[in-house]
Amino acid sequence: MYEMDFTHDTIELFHTYKHLAVLLSIAFNIVISILGVVPSVFLTAANLAVFGFAQGMWISFLGESIGAILAFLLYRKGLSSLQDRKGFSHPKIQRLLHATKSESFLLTLSLRLMPFVPSGLVTFIASIGKTTLMIFATASSLGKIPAILIEGFSVNEMMNVTTTGKLLMALFAVTGFVLLLKRLR
């Protein structure tokens, strides 16, 4: 419910400040990327509602890509001392921490393509590892393309409450219910 209110408020803000709406959207995406744990779906919904599907998708992609790059730079500067810690024991994380250039490109790209891997986690791990800014920016942005398209299509279908949108909502509800049952057991 909170996301719906936030989406509505964001849409109103974009309409109020039409001449700044694109910059505001990109700025919001940058903040979301730096925070690393806030979902961007509400902002994608606002972008689609205000700018239309194609332009809204482009603005969301641009904001998420710029946000990931800036988050990478901030994390790299502020958290570089964490790279020596052993708390990152998962094999894929260890591989990304110590990857060569080509390996870090492929790992970052593949992790971006996985829908359930938090974007902030990928950025964080890459930033404390040996991944260069250029490799991260390229792999991260390429990996965001399918994720943004899937998110945008899903949001668009739900906003328009088409048959596909209703099926997606039902699928999300059933998935959430199953996950909740598993967690309770």
Gap between the terminal Cα atoms of the chain:
26
Q: What percent of the chain has pLDDT over 70?
A: 82
Structure tokens that stand for 12 in this block: 């109103």
pTM over 0.85: no
DSSP state, 114?
A: -
For residue 51, give the nearest of 8, 100, 3, 11 by alpha carbon. Answer: 11
Structure tokens that stand for 106 in this block: 């492929």
C-alpha to C-alpha distance for 31 and 128, rounded to whole angstroms = 20
Q: What percent of the chain has pLDDT over 90?
A: 35
**Is it the case that residue 82 has pLDDT exceeding 60?**
no
**Is it the case that residue 140 has pLDDT exceeding 60?**
yes
6-20, 57-71, 90-104: the lowest-pLDDT one: 90-104
13-17, 58-62, 109-113, 154-158: the lowest-pLDDT one: 154-158
**Is it the case that residue 163 has pLDDT exceeding 80?**
no
C-alpha to C-alpha distance for 166 and 98, rounded to whole angstroms = 44
Secondary structure class of 99 (helix, strand, coil): coil
Of the pLDDT bands very low, low, confident and very high (cuts 50, 70, 90), residue 90 is low
CB–CB of 104/96 below 8 Å? yes
